Chains A and B, each alone.
Chain A
Amino acid sequence: MRAAALAVGLVLAVSPPAGAFSARDMLGREVELAAPPARIVSLVPSVTEALYALGAEARLVGVTDFCDYPPAARGKPSVGGMINPNLEAIVALQPDLVIATTEGNREETFAQLKRLGIPTYLVAAHRVRDVTDLIARLGALTGSQHAAGPLLARFERRIAAVAQAVAPLPRPRVLYVLWPEPLIVPGREALVTELIRLAGGESVTAGEADAYPRYSLESAVAKAPEVILLANHGANTGPIDEPKWRRLTSLPAVRAGRLHRVEGNLVHRYGPRVVDGLEQLARAIHPEAFP
């Protein structure tokens, strides 16, 4: 219900004044458009996923090499990587809007796009409410508010269901390993930190500054996590190195055999599959509550 109200509110906020269609992006910048965008290039895999979930993929004309979900997205023309998208490819697609993020794309790219006269809509998400905000905004931008409402309502229900199931249970200490070597963990600013909390756990690195800081193995061991979650970044990325963790037999997590693999893209990306990610985390942290 909250999300639907949010969506409606945004539609009103985004109502076009005479002639022009302007919107305010998630960094507070004014993005001036002549009309609602019909040719969008997405430089963010999360945004690509969201646009498909909203049924707005017809307006999507370009994606990055990393936009791999849903599989249909791979069929869209690619403009290159997130760090070095090909400017010519973007221009050739004649977009009326490029959606990009400050976490993953470079500021120089935004400057170049501005110079070429291509409007850029910037997004960023650190919290679950940012994700719903993002989906609502995309809904408003693409005129798919009718899809955004129910989608966000479904999210609310699933999140509430998880919260309810784990509410009475004790909160184990959870170590989330984004990358094993060097050890990278989620800090205060990471989305997955909040997701772990919602899933009924408490990340041992929740107090660390930034989004994904480096962390020493010793400190991780000293925190004595009761559950260890190892992020998997897709079929063809580096090894998770589970044996390394199994050797640390001082850890409660290892003694209790509570090492789990988690699909990283579900919890690092801030698209519609965040809820799938939350449920995955909840099953790993509280298997007894989710048979």
Chain B
Amino acid sequence: MTPLVEFRAVGFAYPGAGRSRARPFRLTSVSFAIEPGEIVGVIGPNSSGKTTLIRLLTRVLEPVEGEIALEGKRLQNWGRAELARRVAVVPQGVPREFPFTVEELVLMGRYPHAPGRYFENPADVSAARAAMDATGVRHLASQALASLGGGETQRAVIARALAQEPRLLVLDEPTAHLDLRYQAETAALLRRLNRERGVTILLVSHDLNLAAEVSDRLLLLAEGRLVRLGTPEEVLEESTLTAVFGCEVTVEKSPTTHRPHVQLVWPDGRR
């Protein structure tokens, strides 16, 4: 079966970065594949290139080396709208002072299906409603986003991405700034979407335990390089994590889910 996404020796640097030592290559020689139907988590320290990965995947940036393929076709050969019908990105929240309602936001997700259309048609509206149902925000449809809390906003944004009817859902730090309860809800939602609708998910998170719980495989990045790729058990190894994150950790098996659970070893401050 063709992988959904393939990165082949992809490298990227911001223009002018090569000259200054302070700004090394953002990504170097990254290769991996995402199979349809799986949940892949991307983890690593800040500036390891996680967000750059997403930007390359959605053609916000162009790779300097290597190539990226979606459904076997090179990314450059995909049209923008075509790409947006396959890949949907869930950013962190909405910009400040976003004036639209939930339904208007979710309908924006229908844009790639007919960019030339002025108003959305009934098919668009029902797709949007279905997306809102899936994330449980249908009852908030006519509410302004500015009046919602963090968790509800996040679910609305996910609904917008779902309205694109994508094969691949990419989430960039979905639980940053969210209450514990919403972290749990998000994890459950992602699992449900994956299982019931077959949506492939790429999840970027600095929350190692969330990634471990939800993902089938983990991709560990450090300083722009792919350090480990495998199941959570394979990737979340104490020595690996200590080397990459620069601090002491312990990894135990969660008593409830049997997934690895990473615990920071708090320094006593005496050194």
Asked if A and B touch directly (CB within 8 angstroms), the answer is: no
A residues sitting closer than 8 Å to B (CB atoms) are none
